[in-house]
Amino acid sequence: MKKLFIKLAKILGFEIIDQNNFLSPTLDKELNEDLSIINEKSIVLPLGEVKINRKVKSILIIVRMNTDIEIWDQSKKRIFEQPKIEYSIRSLKSLINSINFCENKYPEIKIKTIIVDDHSKKGNLERVKELVSKKNFEIFSLDHKKFENVIKKQKSNETFSNLASLLQSFQLGKQFGDDLIYFIEDDYLHFEPMLEEMVASYERIASQINKDIFMCSSDYPYLYMNNEKTNVLIGNKRHWRTINQTLCSFMTSKDLLIKYWENFEKTCLDRHDPFEKYLNQIYQNEICVSPLKSLSLHLTNINSSYGLSPFIDYKKLWDENN
């Protein structure tokens, strides 16, 4: 009789929770396992099930890379005070680990990565090519001349290069993106579950509010400096909070990129104050969230309000990606 009931529940699309034995017989899993099914349902105890109507099909990851400039527009050194190439390599290694983790968990989701390289030295570029050679990575060389008559003349070549690489990244997302697009820079270290958690949480939150969203992978310290009110949401395996400002690293959909293309483009045509002025305007109309706690670590100077996330073992994550 019990087996018949379980079979009937499966047919009707219901899940059974056996709290006495701490398992779900319909899912054939213990309750401390991941009960969700990508593209189908998100289950978080004790909140129950969310039907997924916003299914993620693919992710285009676009990495902006400069293996020489230590910290753009600053004379300060990054935490651990290593040459910039060391941060680029460890960042890419952690990203590859996260991609592998996500692909193993969700093989049906297509993942492609484009690196926008801003004139790396030959030796540095060879190290990068060797690292990414076995993955679905493409390296795109930034052409500054392409943007000389597009971007306003800047006080420094570094500022112009930063704006050019950002605009190139947005253009590539618009051209080659299909579903989700993750814009990221080469000075972030990622925890292995980063991409998997972002995808599953994106599906859950977007399905609940019935619209696409913006999503950061880092819990930046500046988010805690103004004591602003926020909404806390349940993701796949952690809490997420709504935010109204980001840096230039975030995930969103191709549809939102096109919808707010004017804002994306304006961000890159000149340096603004704040730099992300036109991006932040978008969050007056759209939901943007960041994780609690962080899924990625921005490797800036230790005193930067735009860098190290709280409650992270920085040294451990750094050493793991050596």
Q: Are residues 8 and 79 in the same domain?
A: no
Average per-residue pLDDT in the chain?
93
Q: Does residue 32 have a pLDDT over 80?
A: yes
Q: Are residues 131 and 23 in the same domain?
A: no
Q: Are residues 215 and 305 in the same domain?
A: yes
Q: Give the pair of three-digit tokens for residue 313.
A: 């073992």
Domain that holds residue 7: 2-49
Query: Can you give the pLDDT at residue 68?
Result: 86
Which CATH number does the domain housing residue 192 bear? 3.90.550.10
Please give the average per-residue pLDDT across 183-199, as a whole number: 98
Q: Are residues 94 and 114 in the same domain?
A: yes
Q: Is the peptide bond before 274 cis (omega within 30 degrees of 0)?
A: yes
Please give the average per-residue pLDDT across 132-148, as a whole number: 95
Please write the tens of the pLDDT for every residue from 2-24: 555 455 555 556 677 778 788 87
**210 phi/psi in degrees, rounded to 5:** 60, 40
Query: Can you give the pLDDT at residue 126?
Result: 96
Q: Are residues 21 and 106 in the same domain?
A: no
Query: Can you give the pLDDT at residue 180?
Result: 98
Q: Are residues 15 and 147 in the same domain?
A: no
Q: Are residues 193 and 316 in the same domain?
A: yes
Mean pLDDT is lowest, of 44-48, 149-153, 247-251, 282-286, for 44-48
Please give the average per-residue pLDDT across 139-146, as a whole number: 96
Query: Can you give the pLDDT at residue 6?
Result: 54
Sheet holding 214-215, edge to edge: 137-141, 110-117, 58-65, 180-185, 250-253, 214-215, 288-292, 239-242, 232-234
- What is the Cα–Cα distance from 316 to 245, expressed in whole angstroms? 29
Please write the tens of the pLDDT for every residue from 64-110: 999 987 776 666 889 999 999 999 999 999 999 999 999 999 999 99
Q: Are residues 253 and 119 in the same domain?
A: yes
Query: Can you give the pLDDT at residue 14?
Result: 64
DSSP, residue by residue, 110-179: EEEEEEEE-S--HHHHHHHHHHHTTSSEEEEE--GGGGTTTSPP-SSHHHHHHHHHHHHHHHHHHHH-SS
Q: Are residues 117 and 226 in the same domain?
A: yes
Query: Can you give the pLDDT at residue 11?
Result: 59
Mean pLDDT is lowest, of 32-41, 109-118, 121-130, for 32-41
| Domains of the chain: total | 2
Please give the average per-residue pLDDT across 171-193, as a whole number: 98
Answer with the one of 49, 67, 86 that is the final residue of a domain: 49
Q: Are residues 169 and 194 in the same domain?
A: yes
Please write the tens of the pLDDT for every residue from 277-313: 999 999 999 999 999 999 999 999 988 888 899 999 9
pTM: 0.94
Q: Are residues 65 and 95 in the same domain?
A: yes
Q: Are residues 17 and 96 in the same domain?
A: no
Query: Can you give the pLDDT at residue 313?
Result: 96
